[in-house]
Each structure stands twice: as structure tokens, then as C-alpha cells.
């Protein structure tokens, strides 16, 4: 098959993005913004965003974009006015690096060198201490039991104050339950419980664990402290190869099911143990092994029971889920997929700072393009199910599922787009009207188009017709779009889409963009005279949440 990269047009004459990966300066006290157009008066709350924001200490520089120190941003919207503030997360990593004015704690792609003051013998030994796990939580804002945290993919999160962006205590998942990591993409159910996934390994093997954190209790609101009590592992899925477990960034959740996507981006545990001794950084221990294909592990989220049916498909990788829902005995799963997982180690700062033109074109044109796909799992497969015939009977659905042998089903996807999307370079960072439609039949999602190494357009996709609406202007780079429903919404896309727009072309020309979610036309923008580095994810916090 032709790869997604070959299907998308090659770029030429791309501009330099170096200004978007320069260290930012914090603005701890809220500053006013200049409004152009109108910001609807009903929007009342804060748009919170996270991402790497500091890339060096003293003369030490990080190598990988994911390594940058977490910087939190808050656009507070009230009665048509907007203020902006930002702070670096005061993680242990940030504090130790700041005090020593060098990189002391190793991150995803940067290995901290031993202390230059130690003698040669002590330096040799310090190589054998496994890296201190970082608490540089630079990926997302998440909410557990009514408290806001910033998170990355290690066992540490940091509780934060969503108003002042002050850093609170460090929280270690492994103090509550038997996991040594958790994703930055939890799912929330309608009762207020939160689901996430983490790893554990023991003599019995390597396991992917589904975690449930219960809803907040009434009296909990009074305490100003982190609270993950009642967190439980509801299901443990053994890794197909305990020596080489799969990397995962998110998981699928519908009304009644959770699906874990075991993908062929593998973490070599033996290398992981040795990499500190050899002085290699973490992203070198991840390998793309397409010979393994994909296993979808289906779990009932109420009972924690895993299905005995193994659902398989061709190799791909997925970082972000769009939505999933059940329909007439089928589970429909929409996700952003790439067909070449060599990608993840390439987001080095050196690559992101390449010169305009040929150098940047070559890097961009070498990257995988991620495209939305729909996979459908038949939920009623048993010994009576016939072999080798398509089990998907949904109207207008091109995805297939065939029972290949007892207890095994092979599925193929439907492309959730037309060729028009290829002109935008594929898409990533999908978001939906989560509050009302997560885990339910839905029609729209919002995302960034990737005509450059960073997103350079905002897209609205209609999954019924596969039609696109787009917002795209040369030199403007939008953040992940977040949907906010209007208070009297009757339809799925009644509301606005928020995105922070940055540009490498002009100093301090950042603005918060507000689009009408229905028409995808601009309602207004709030201009703020700061430089914001390109970020990862964000959340909307309604007033009173």
C-alpha cells in the first residue's frame, strides 16, 4: 500500500520555525489583551495550556523538544474580556536545574551528564544509578476528584492551582496503586470517575493496567491537598512480549468499553536498563517493529473483564483518539493513525530549528502524515460466528472484520476523510464536544492540519460526509483546538473553538483565536504581546469548575 506520506503533497520553501521553540518568559501576573472583533459574552472561564517552554540551563541545552521544561498558560475569559498569564511549573527538575544552572535531571531525549565536580571513580559509578524519573509534567492538564494536575507520561504528576498557576505538591501514582507510569490522556465518565492507563512490571511479566479514580466525595472539596484515594487497577493486560512492551500515549473509551491499542512501537526493556550505563537517551530505546501488527484489547469498563476475542489489524501507530461509540453490537473507534512509527525520535530541537527552504523541506517531507481512521469491532463473536466473512453490517461502513480462527478477528479500517485532507498534510490533536458526545454517536471533530512540522491550520471534520472546513493563513501556527459549548446549545457544534495562534514571523504577536464552531469563521481574537513556544495540549475550565 502507498504510505500516507507518499499520498500527501511534498512541501517546498517551508519557513524556519526556530522562534517557536525558543524559551519563553513567564508572565505570572495576568495582563490585559487587545480584543479584535468580539468575544461572545457567554464564554466564562479559563483556557489552560501546557507544553515545553524552556530549553536550556546555563550552557546546557536539551536535545529533544519533549524535554523542555513545562510552561503553563492561562487565558481567562469573562464578559468579552481576556487576560493572559503564564508560569513555569516549579517541578523538582526545574528547581534542581535552576539551582545548579545546568541540566541535572534527565528527560526523554537528553541525558544529564554526571556532576563535573565528582572524581573519576564517583563519576563512573553515577552512570550506574538509573536516571531519576522526571516530574517535568509538560504534556497536559488533567482533573482528578475536582483537582487540576499537570501530567506527562511518568509516575509523577503535579497538582496546580488553575487560577494562579502556582505549583502544588508532587503526586506519585505508585504510592496509590501498582503502576509506574500513567498517560496524560485520561478519560472522564458522566459520573465524574476518571479512567487512565499505566504500566507495571514484576517477576510475573509486564502489564498494561487500566486505572479507575472514583468521583470526588462531597467533603473532599474542603481539603487543599492531592487525593487519589480509591484509585484501583480494574484490569491488567499482559504484554504480548514482556521484554518489549508497547509504547502508548492514550486509549479508547466508549459508554461500556475500554480498548487498549497494543502497537508496534516497542520499548526495549533490556536496552532501557543499559541505556544509563551507555549514556543513551530514552528515545533511543523505542523501536518501530511493524512485523508485529496491532492488537486491540477489548475490556468491559464496568466489570474490568477482558474479552477472550483477540482483534488484530495491520501495523500502524496512534497517539490520539478521536471518539468511540457502540452501535447495534459493534464498537466504532475513530483515531488519528500513522503508518510509520519511526517518527517519534525525530522531534529534536536541531531538526525543529532547521533553516528555511531545503533543510526544513527535507525534514518535513521525511515525516509520517497522520490521518483519521475508523476501526469497527464486532462485539458478539463466539464459536458459532462463521469464518472468513465480513461481520460488519453497519450501513455505509467500509471497515471490515473477519473471524480468521477461533477467538481471533482481523479488522481493516475505513478512511475517515476524503482526498481534500491530504492537501492539509494530514491532521493531529483531535478534539470533540467531549462533555456531551464522548463515548456516544457524534458527527464533528476539530483538529490541526499539518502542512508544516507544527500544525499550520485548524480543521473541522464532518464524519458523516467527510467534508472539511478550514482556517489557514500563511505564517500562523494554531494550537490544538478546544471546543466550548454555548450555554443554550441544542446541536453538537453550537459553541466556539479556541486556539492559541503563534507566528515565527513577528516578535510577540500571539493571539487567542475564537471561531464559531458551526461556521468555522472567526468571531474575535485577543492579542497578547508575548512569545509563546509551540505547546502540546490544553483544557477549558468553566467558571465554577
pLDDT class for 345, splitting at 50, 70, 90? low
Pairing of strands 408-412, 310-313: parallel
Percentage with pLDDT > 70 across the chain: 93
For residue 383, which of 402, 404, 411, 407 has the smallest C-alpha distance? 407
Q: What is the pLDDT of residue 277?
A: 67
pLDDT of residue 117: 57
**Digit-coded pLDDT (tens) for 363-388:** 999 999 999 999 999 999 999 999 99
pTM of the model: 0.95
Query: What is the average pLDDT value for the chain, to the nearest integer?
Result: 93
| Lowest-confidence segment of 105-119, 411-425, 504-518 by average pLDDT | 105-119
Check if CATH label 2.130.10.10 holds for domain 4-542.
yes
pLDDT at 221 over 70: no
Tens-digit pLDDT profile for residues 158-177:
999 999 999 999 999 999 99
Residue 106: its pLDDT value, please?
A: 78
* pLDDT tens-digit series, residues 523-541: 999 999 999 999 999 999 9
73 is annotated as contributing to ligand binding? no
* Look-up of cell digits 450501513: 395
pLDDT bracket for residue 113 (50, 70, 90): low
Cα–Cα distance measured from residue 448 to residue 426, given in angstroms and rounded to the nearest whole number? 9
SS3 per residue for 348-360: EHHHHCCCCCHHH
Shortest CA distance to 513 belongs to which of 75, 162, 85? 75
pLDDT band at 340 (very low <50, low <70, confident <90, very high): confident
Measure the CA–CA gap between 32 and 22, rounded to whole angstroms: 23
For the segment 396-426, what is each residue's pLDDT rounded down to a tens digit?
999 999 999 999 999 999 999 999 999 999 9
334 pLDDT more than 50: yes
Note the pLDDT tens digit of each residue in 37-95.
Answer: 999 999 999 999 999 999 999 999 998 899 999 999 999 999 999 999 999 999 999 99
**320 annotated ligand-binding residue:** yes
Residues 293-313: pLDDT tens digits? 999 999 999 999 999 999 999
Place of cell 468575544: 39
- 187 marked ligand binding residue: no
Mean pLDDT of 208-216: 96
Q: Does the annotation list 185 as a binding residue?
A: yes
How do the domains of the chain map onto residue ranges? Answer: 4-542
- Backbone torsion region of residue 355, taken as left when φ is above 0, otherwise alpha when ψ lies between -120 and 50, otherwise beta: beta
Amino acid at each position: 500500500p502507498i504510505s500516507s506520506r507518499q499520498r500527501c503533497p511534498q512541501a517546498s520553501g517551508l519557513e524556519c520555525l526556530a522562534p517557536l521553540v525558543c524559551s519563553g518568559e513567564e508572565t505570572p501576573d495576568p495582563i490585559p489583551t487587545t480584543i479584535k472583533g468580539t468575544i461572545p459574552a457567554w464564554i466564562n472561564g479559563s483556557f489552560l495550556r501546557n507544553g515545553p517552554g524552556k530549553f536550556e540551563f546555563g550552557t546546557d541545552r536539551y536535545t529533544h523538544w519533549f524535554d523542555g521544561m513545562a510552561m503553563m498558560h492561562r487565558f481567562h475569559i469573562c464578559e468579552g474580556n481576556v487576560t493572559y498569564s503564564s508560569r513555569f511549573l516549579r517541578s523538582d527538575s526545574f528547581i534542581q536545574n535552576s539551582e545548579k544552572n545546568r541540566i541535572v535531571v534527565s528527560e526523554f531525549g537528553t541525558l544529564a551528564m554526571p556532576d563535573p565536580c565528582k572524581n573519576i571513580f564517583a563519576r563512573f559509578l553515577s552512570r550506574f544509578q538509573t536516571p531519576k524519573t522526571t516530574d517535568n509534567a509538560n504534556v497536559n492538564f488533567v482533573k482528578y476528584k475536582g483537582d487540576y494536575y499537570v501530567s506527562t507520561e511518568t509516575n509523577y504528576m503535579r497538582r496546580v492551582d488553575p487560577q494562579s498557576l502556582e505549583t502544588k505538591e508532587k503526586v506519585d501514582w505508585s504510592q496509590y496503586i501498582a503502576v509506574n507510569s500513567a498517560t496524560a490522556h485520561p478519560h472522564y465518565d458522566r459520573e465524574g470517575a476518571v479512567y487512565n492507563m499505566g504500566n507495571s512490571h514484576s517477576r510475573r511479566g509486564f502489564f498494561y493496567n487500566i486505572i479507575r479514580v472514583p468521583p470526588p466525595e462531597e467533603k473532599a472539596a474542603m481539603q487543599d491537598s492531592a487525593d487519589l484515594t480509591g484509585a484501583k487497577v480494574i484490569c491488567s493486560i499482559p504484554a504480548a512480549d514482556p521484554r518489549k512492551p508497547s509504547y502508548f500515549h492514550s486509549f479508547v473509551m466508549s459508554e461500556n468499553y475500554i480498548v487498549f491499542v497494543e502497537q508496534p512501537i516497542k520499548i526495549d526493556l533490556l536496552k532501557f536498563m543499559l541505556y544509563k550505563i551507555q549514556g543513551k537517551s530514552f528515545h533511543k530505546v523505542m523501536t518501530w517493529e511493524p512485523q508485529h501488527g496491532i492488537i486491540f484489547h477489548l475490556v468491559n469498563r464496568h466489570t474490568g473483564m477482558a474479552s477472550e476475542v483477540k482483534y488484530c489489524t495491520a501495523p500502524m501507530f496512534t497517539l490520539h483518539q478521536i471518539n468511540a461509540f457502540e452501535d447495534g453490537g459493534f464498537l466504532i473507534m475513530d483515531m488519528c493513525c500513522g503508518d510509520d512509527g519511526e517518527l517519534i525520535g525525530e522531534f529534536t530541537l536541531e531538526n525543529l530549528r532547521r533553516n528555511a527552504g531545503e533543510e526544513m523541506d527535507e525534514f518535513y517531507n521525511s515525516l509520517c502524515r497522520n490521518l483519521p481512521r475508523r476501526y469497527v469491532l464486532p462485539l458478539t463473536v463466539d464459536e458459532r460466528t462463521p469464518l472468513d466473512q465480513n461481520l460488519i453490517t453497519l450501513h455505509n461502513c467500509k471497515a471490515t472484520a473477519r473471524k480468521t480462527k477461533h477467538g481471533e478477528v482481523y479488522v481493516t479500517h475505513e478512511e475517515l476523510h476524503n482526498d481534500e485532507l491530504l492537501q492539509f498534510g494530514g491532521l493531529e490533536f483531535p478534539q470533540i464536544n467531549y462533555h456531551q458526545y464522548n463515548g456516544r454517536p457524534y458527527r464533528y471533530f476539530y483538529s490541526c492540519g499539518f502542512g508544516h512540522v507544527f500544525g499550520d491550520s485548524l480543521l473541522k471534520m464532518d464524519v458523516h460526509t467527510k467534508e472539511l472546513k478550514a482556517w489557514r493563513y500563511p505564517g500562523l501556527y494554531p494550537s490544538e483546538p478546544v471546543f466550548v459549548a454555548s450555554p443554550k446549545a441544542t446541536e453538537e457544534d453550537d459553541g466556539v473553538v479556541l486556539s492559541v495562534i503563534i507566528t515565527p514571523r513577528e516578535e510577540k504577536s500571539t493571539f487567542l483565536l475564537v471561531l464559531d464552531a458551526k461556521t468555522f469563521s472567526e468571531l474575535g481574537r485577543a492579542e497578547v504581546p508575548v512569545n509563546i513556544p509551540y505547546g502540546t495540549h490544553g483544557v477549558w475550565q468553566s467558571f465554577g469548575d
